[in-house]
Copies of this chain bind each other. A is one copy, B any other.
């Protein structure tokens, strides 16, 4: 039994969809969440910069004595998971591997779509993780940069959202994919509109759900679950605008954000 908290980080608010799944599937675990709101988004930035930012986020969590680190951000998982696993002596889990596993388990025709930020799709990380599990899979990745601001405007059911989804997803439809990875933390919120555009035959994979499932398996296997059935503590940290995070975060988490502080993430030294 290990009562230390689980550490979760993201480029901002989107990772709360991962935290929400962790709260559901691991209801007794203490969690420390860090959102890098001063430098959000990561999805349009370079591998080198995302690695540096991710290292600083993980270092902060490690300094809070977490027992494991969950990279809730798809872009940071794509670019930095190996980098962080080499540098930290606790388990580091990303969303890509679990998401890829979910896609391979649900496809019937082997045609899998991946949507995400330019960084995530451009990195080829989902494609590689899927091909490793199913050599014959055909994977099509499409970056969808407008989806995040549409969700942040609360326009997920609008005509703008539907036309944008049609524009982005037409190629996936033409290729006949039957499983689609929602490879960005905001996208599950667009699930209804994406499903409407693609039709019922396409299974939508939510890496947030798959990641919480994998986290539970790992902590169970290592005997690191909290398992004392006491009420968990949730602590939140951001690098900018805590009040905005508190206000908007509720929509992602479906729960109030209470203990919240601001920290200076860029003052953490990076060990290259």
CB distance from A194 to the nearest CB of B (A): 16
A244 closest partner in B (C-beta): B46
B241 touching A45 by the CB < 8 A rule? yes
Protomer copies: 2
Instruction: Determine how close the nearest CB of chain B comes to the CB of A102; give it in whole angstroms.
Output: 27
Partner of A145, one of B153, B159, B164: B153
What residues on B are CB-neighbors of A155 within 8 Å? 146
Residue of B nearest to A143 (CB): B153
| A150 proximity list for chain B (CB < 8 A) | 146
Cα-based distance from A23 to B160 in the complex (angstroms): 37
A241 touches B46 (CB 8 A): yes
Chain B neighbourhood of A40, CB < 8 A: 44
The distance in angstroms between the C-alpha atoms of A266 and B44, with both chains bound, is: 18
With A and B bound together, what is the CA distance between A239 and B153 in angstroms? 28
A97 at the interface (CB under 8 A from B): no
Which residues of chain A from 143 to 182 have a CB within 8 Å of any chain B CB?
145-146, 148-150, 152-153, 155, 158-160, 163-164, 167
- Which A residues fall within an 8 A CB radius of B? 37-40, 44-46, 48-49, 145-146, 148-150, 152-153, 155, 158-160, 163-164, 167, 239-241, 244, 266
